[in-house]
């Protein structure tokens, strides 16, 4: 694996510029999504029948990319719906225009816009917009995490028995799904408060940052699913790593284990010792 460069090698984009651009881009995407949600959603399948994409996904990504390229035409873009030409810029925008497409396609109101920015492979900014609840979770490296401008922090839950957790299933329905179900059973046997499966990893991570969840795990996510949420969580005092406790990659799919920090080792231990 290529070693990441240090952020200090080039001047990072300032906080104000990032939030102004990311917020405007998220506004444009949210407007598209709410319009389709009101008028009706149509979709088609990608890899498998339950891997859906809607017109709102593609239009939202186009609106976000247009807004970024207006100010920074040389920046790289890593998005879910389209492949973009690689540039020589040290900056990369990591975009999930509509995280929770299956929810959206059924009219279930739990989905989000996720926009992150990395420089030389290091996340520096993240924004997750929930159009339905009008909540914006955001963070810029070293300056804390926020929801609608108010500072947020992870919970102080220290015992796994007091935890409310979240998980997710990837689009395959084979051994990883079966193992996730076994892990759910193992965690319930620990006497935890509960487990939720919301369908939006970006919001799951943001909810840990806001103290609403205490932990989250999934076998496979793409960087656009977790990049913004992982930075927001980190700035709120939490942790997000792979299930092997290594840094999350920003260029390929990965497993994820996230928590408020206090529960990280406990959650990891249960998952690792759960029978396969």
- Class of 7-152 per CATH? alpha beta
Instruction: From residue 29, give the alpha-carbon distance in Å to each of 25, 112, 128.
Output: 6, 9, 11
Q: What is the pLDDT of residues 213-267, one digit of tens each?
A: 999 999 999 999 999 999 999 999 999 999 999 999 999 999 999 999 999 999 9
Quote the tokens at residue 210.
Answer: 């806001």
Predicted local distance difference test score (pLDDT) of residue 276: 86
- Specify the domain boundaries for CATH 3.30.540.10 within the chain: 7-152
Distance CA 117, CA 20 (A): 13
> Domain 160-273: which topology?
D-Maltodextrin-Binding Protein; domain 2 (3.40.190)
- Specify the domain boundaries for CATH 3.40.190.80 within the chain: 160-273
Q: What percent of the chain has pLDDT over 70?
A: 90
- Which stretches of 141-177 are assigned E, i.e. beta strand? 145-147, 150-152, 164-167
How confident is the prediction for the chain on average, in pLDDT?
Answer: 91
φ and ψ at 200, to 5 degrees? -140, 100
Q: What is the pLDDT of residues 87-100, one digit of tens each?
A: 999 999 999 999 99
Across the range 25-48, mean pLDDT stands at 78
Global pTM value: 0.92
């Amino acid at each position: 694996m290529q070693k990441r460069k240090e952020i200090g090698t080039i001047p990072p984009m300032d906080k104000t510029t990032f939030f102004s651009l990311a917020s405007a881009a998220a506004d444009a995407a949210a407007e598209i999504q709410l319009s389709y949600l009101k008028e009706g959603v149509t979709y088609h399948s990608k890899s498998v029948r339950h891997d859906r994409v809607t017109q709102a996904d593609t239009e939202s990504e186009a609106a976000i990319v247009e807004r970024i390229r207006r100010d920074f035409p040389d920046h790289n873009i890593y998005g879910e719906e389209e492949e973009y030409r690689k540039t020589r810029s040290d900056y990369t925008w990591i975009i999930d225009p509509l995280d929770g497409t299956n929810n959206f396609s059924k009219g279930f109101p739990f989905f989000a816009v996720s926009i992150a920015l990395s420089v030389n492979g290091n996340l520096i900014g993240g924004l997750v917009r929930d159009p339905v609840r009008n909540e914006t979770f955001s963070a810029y490296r070293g300056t804390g995490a926020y929801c609608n401008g108010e500072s947020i922090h992870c919970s102080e839950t220290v015992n796994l028995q007091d935890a409310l957790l979240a998980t997710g299933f990837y689009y395959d329905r084979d051994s990883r799904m079966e193992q996730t179900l076994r892990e759910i059973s193992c965690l319930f046997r620990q006497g935890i408060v509960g487990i939720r499966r919301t369908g939006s990893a970006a919001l799951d991570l943001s909810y840990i940052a806001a103290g609403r969840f205490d932990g989250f795990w999934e076998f496979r996510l793409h960087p656009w699913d977790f990049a913004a949420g992982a930075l927001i969580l980190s700035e709120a005092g939490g942790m997000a790593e792979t299930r092997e406790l290594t840094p999350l990659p920003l260029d390929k799919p990965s497993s994820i284990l996230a928590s408020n920090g206090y529960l990280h080792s406990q959650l990891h231990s249960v998952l690792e010792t759960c029978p396969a």
